[in-house]
Copies of this chain bind each other. A is one copy, B any other.
């Protein structure tokens, strides 16, 4: 029986994508070869890569000012690559600290220039998005993490600055409309909303590159990958292929407008269930709640194990919360069907009735 997959990442993919992804391992479109054994220089893969790039451009309506890259190394590698490529040793960048990933990004960037942390929500275990701070004018960029997977918070408006934004969008990429012109660099590990683990999307404004005074190893220079269309070396063929299938699914479903509408509805349903249930309590400040990861705790900690057992019995997987927050986390990415959310809510409601 197929599980209801609430995993925070690697995460649920659309059923139709998994079907096509499995078939292509046996044979890619009847060519007599598996997708796993074709050359990255073959016409078949060049088409897959080109189509993946085009889907990203179309979904975000990117102008030719931006390059779209499929790299590896995860967001964790972008923490240092972004600073290495965009921040001159003599210059300053501003960062916002909204969780574990932001603070890792800050740590790595400090190796490359002057880093000013404008605001942090660490004082309340990152359960809110800081507001009301001033952004200095003399910065190369402002870095933020748009959605905080562990803590269940998300930016619903952008800070006031003219500086280009550098954004770790790993856990809400392709989940809603964004004002793309505000961004100088967007990066995202694929394994939440875009595909399986193993590739990292980078969208970068080309005019920001080539301006820092340091030697960059070839593989760490965005310009290398722009020149070679993400194929300077062998790219991660299969993760890119499955990302292409997932992006095709997003487009077929109606693009970012449709994703945003669907995700808002799903999040509303989930948070309504948490708020009305006498046994559960949301973790994040209401105005900063994530549409992707709903974090909540049990008011009576001794019942946690029993609730997880009930979830398990109902075929629900991956709702145990991250150790930094405890409790539960329902990750309800693009591919999460509303029916699975209803199954979880039923278990929550039944549990409250049983323990009334």
Residues of A at the B interface (CB closer than 8 Å) are 1-3, 5, 7-13, 18-19, 21-23, 25-26, 31-34, 36-40, 42, 72-77, 79-80, 84, 104, 107-108, 111, 189, 191, 195-199, 215, 217-220, 232-239, 242, 315, 317-318
Contacts and interface: CB of A to CB of B under 8 A. Distances in A.
Contacts of A1: 32
A36 B242 contact: yes
Given A18-B26, A33-B3, A238 B39 contact: no
Contact of A236 (B11, B77, B232, B239): B239
A275 to B, nearest CB: 27
A291 to B, nearest CB: 19
Contact of A233 (B3, B34, B74, B220): B74
Most buried by B among A3, A37, A189, A232: A37
Contact of A219 (B36, B73, B198, B235): B73
B26 A22 contact: yes
A239 B236 CA distance: 8
Interface of A is mostly: loop
A236 B191 CA distance: 9
A110 B17 CA distance: 44
A32 B198 contact: no
B32 A234 contact: no
Q: How many copies does the complex hold?
A: 2
Q: Nearest 5 pairs between A and B by C-beta?
A: A198-B236, A22-B25, A72-B72, A80-B217, A76-B233
7 contacts: A3-B32, A7-B37, A9-B39, A22-B34, A37-B196, A74-B234, A197-B238
Given A198-B72, A218-B108, A219-B80, A25 B18 contact: yes
A196 B36 contact: yes
A148 to B, nearest CB: 16
B37 A5 contact: yes
Contact of A32 (B72, B80, B238, B315): B315
Given A32-B1, A73-B73, A219-B77, A198 B238 contact: yes
A318 B40 CA distance: 12
Contacts of A104: 218
Given A38-B7, A73-B72, A189 B234 contact: yes
Nearest to A112: B217
Given A32-B315, A238-B239, 11 more contacts: A7-B39, A9-B39, A10-B38, A21-B34, A22-B25, A22-B34, A37-B196, A73-B73, A108-B217, A189-B234, A197-B234
Contacts of A84: 217
Contacts of A13: 34, 36-37
A326 B186 CA distance: 40
A39 B317 CA distance: 10
Nearest to A34: B18
In the complex, which of the residues A42, A104, A239 has the most CB atoms of chain B within 10 Å of its own CB atom?
A: A239
A32 B9 CA distance: 16
